[in-house]
A = this chain, B = another copy of it.
Amino acid sequence: MERIRCEALKSKIMSADEAAALVKPGSVIGVSGFTAVGYPKAVPMAIAKRAENGEDMHVTIIAGGNVGDQLDGSLARSGAMARRYGFQGNKDLRKLVNAGKVQYCDVHVSHSPYLVRNGYFGKIDLAILEVAAIREDGSLISSMAAGMIDVLTEYAEKIIIEVNDTIPLSVEGFHDLFLLKRAPNTQIIPITSAGDRIGTPYAACDPSKVIAVVKTSLQDLNANLKEPDEDMKKIASYIIQFFKDEMKAGRLPDPLPPLQSGVGGVANAVLEGIANSDLENLSVYTEVMQDAVLSLIDSGKVKSASGTALTISPDRREELYANLDKYRGKILIRSQEVTNAPEVIRRLSCIAMNTAIEVDLAGNVNSSHVNGTDIMNGIGGSCDYTRNSGISIFTTLSTAKNGTISCIVPHVGHVDQTEHDTEIIVTEQGLADLRGLSAYERADLLIEKCAHPKFKDELKAYVEKAKASGAGMHAIKVL
């Protein structure tokens, strides 16, 4: 079936270079994509080429979530990017941010669309969007990642569309886009169950705003997930046991509330562990659906999974795309403002499971910085879920850098999640339930359950020193 079905837009079909030539230096550009899926590729690379050829492009890029190297890497290396908002995961961009060469501002996943809508990022000069197809009326069939596509089509002044023929057309119907309106509008997001459909499968798009349509066949550059190892399996087993204990105690209902899971190998391993457990009748309400979500559906444990991106390892992608219909009606791809809406997360009492870089003795979590000074990727949606969930869980290995440093530390180098929001901390050593504990109780339990044995004495010594140092007993601090 044809991918560009809107007559009015057929005349706008051009090469990526021609489209990039329409981009004004200094533009504020919003892009589609999430977790390195569904982001524009050809036009950003062509913009980078202009910078390489000596033009001062200094564009601002607003991304809803992570995007691949063809976008962030190209624009960063070429010097075309002056400013970047939202989660990033590109090594070259990260270097420039940490060197102060690209101005970076980390934004919650639920906030980016809010800020765009309400004009807090200024005028959005341009949206560059990757889609599966353009419908007769100009509306868009999104890629596997909805991200901010609906907000950008509505609020950007101009639009460039990349139509990517590697995206299976069978994705049509998987999306559920619900566009919130600018204040003072007040809308209820009427989701009361992970699988509720509340919107449309298409992003409305006014064809008169579209200045270019580019055909591409470039693949997403998301990475394969690491196979679960013994440590990851241990973490998963502690969480599963915790769920069972909580259900038994009547503090968690059976079946469990919808599961949210962060991004990466550990997060995926936890869900794989759940797929192999005897837990039943589960649902997923999350921002990113990784490989394990397919396992959960295949095992019959999950009937409904909802997220803003279906990010499947390249190794499994071909099989998925060939059999996508198997998941129709079971997977919903929503706009990120809805997947990460505080309203829905709290209402559903979601179980939030995210990964920490390090956790301190008070329970503060660092999700974004290494050495306390260098941004790694950003906070993503971890705060949206952690602070609004029914139960918040953080996982991390107890050590990093080949066991040479402890991930349970006296004080985190950067606070992304405060002690007020974190509840359950899990490492391969064990699980600490910090709910309702005072500061020193939390410290003792974290050391006992989560720290690696070789760092326990050092951490205990810090606690004793803090107690003796005269600081208030509500803060674990050596004066």
Q: Which residues from chain A sit less than 8 Å from chain B, CB to CB?
A: 83, 85, 97-100, 103-108, 114-115, 118-122, 182-184, 186-188, 190, 192-193, 249-253, 255, 257, 341-343, 345-349, 364, 369, 371-375, 379, 383, 387-388, 390, 413-418, 420, 435-441, 467, 471-475, 477, 479
This chain: copies in complex: 2
A337: min CB distance to chain B, Å: 10
Residues of B within 8 A of A418 (CB): 383, 415-418
Name 11 interchain pairs, CB-CB below 8 A, sorted by A.
A85-B436, A100-B467, A100-B473, A184-B255, A186-B348, A364-B415, A369-B474, A373-B471, A375-B472, A413-B475, A414-B475
Q: Which listed residue, B120, B252, B342, B414, touches A343 by the CB 8 Å rule? A: B342
Q: Shortest Cβ distance from A282 into chain B, in angstroms?
A: 12
> How far is it, in angstroms, between the C-alpha of A272 and the C-alpha of B104 when the chains are bound?
37
User: How long is the Cα–Cα vector from A83 to B369 in the complex, in angstroms?
Assistant: 34
CB nearest neighbor in B for A187: B347
Q: Is the CB of B437 within 8 A of A477?
A: no
* Residues of chain B lying within 8 A (CB to CB) of residue A343: 342-343, 346-347
Residue pair B184, A188 in contact (C-beta under 8 Å): no
Query: Which of B349, B374, B420, B475 lies in contact with A373, CB distance below 8 A?
Result: B475
Contact call B98/A477, Cβ cutoff below 8 A: no
Q: A372-B477, A374-B475, A383-B420 are in contact. Are A438 and B250 (CB under 8 A)?
A: no
User: When the two chains form their complex, are residues B104 and A438 in contact, meaning their CB atoms are under 8 A apart?
Assistant: yes
Q: Tell whether, in the assembled complex, residue A420 and residue B349 are in contact, meaning their CB atoms are under 8 Å apart.
A: no
- A98 near B341 with CB under 8 A, answer no
Residues on B with C-beta less than 8 A from A472 are: 97-98, 369, 371, 373-375
With A104-B474, A383-B420, A473-B98: A190-B188 Cβ-Cβ less than 8 Å: yes
Is B119 touching A251 in the complex (CB atoms < 8 A)? yes
Q: Is the CB–CB distance between B379 and A420 below 8 Å?
A: yes
User: What is the minimal beta-carbon distance from A134 to any residue of chain B, in angstroms?
Assistant: 30
Q: Which residue of B lies closest to A188 (CB)?
A: B188
| Inter-chain contact B107/A420, CB cutoff 8 Å | yes
Q: Would B257 and A420 count as touching, CB distance under 8 A?
A: no
What is the distance, in angstroms, from A151's C-beta to the closest C-beta of chain B?
A: 15
List 18 other contacts, CB 8 Å, given A187-B347, A369-B474, A387-B387.
Answer: A85-B436, A97-B473, A98-B474, A103-B437, A105-B437, A106-B420, A118-B349, A121-B436, A183-B257, A183-B390, A186-B193, A188-B192, A341-B346, A342-B388, A343-B343, A371-B471, A373-B471, A375-B474
Tell me, in angstroms, the Cα distance from A386 to B397 when the chains sit together.
Answer: 31
Q: Are A441 and B347 interface neighbours, CB within 8 A?
A: no
Q: Which residue of the partner chain, among B103, B364, B477, contacts A438 with CB atoms under 8 Å?
A: B103
| Residues from chain B with Cβ under 8 Å of A436 in the complex | 85, 105, 115, 120-122
Q: Are B184 and A257 in contact (CB under 8 A)?
A: yes
Quick check: A349 and B183 within 8 Å, CB to CB? yes
Residues on B with C-beta less than 8 A from A479 are: 373
Q: A472 CA to B416 CA in the complex, in Å?
A: 17
Q: A98: which B residues are within 8 A, CB to CB?
A: 472-474
User: Please, how many angstroms separate the alpha-carbon atoms of A474 and B347 in the complex?
Assistant: 35
Cβ of A58 to closest chain B Cβ, rounded Å: 14
- Chain B residues with CB below 8 A from A477, complex form: 372-373
B108 engages A420 (CB within 8 Å) = yes
Chain B residues with Cβ under 8 A from A373's Cβ? 471-472, 474-475, 477, 479
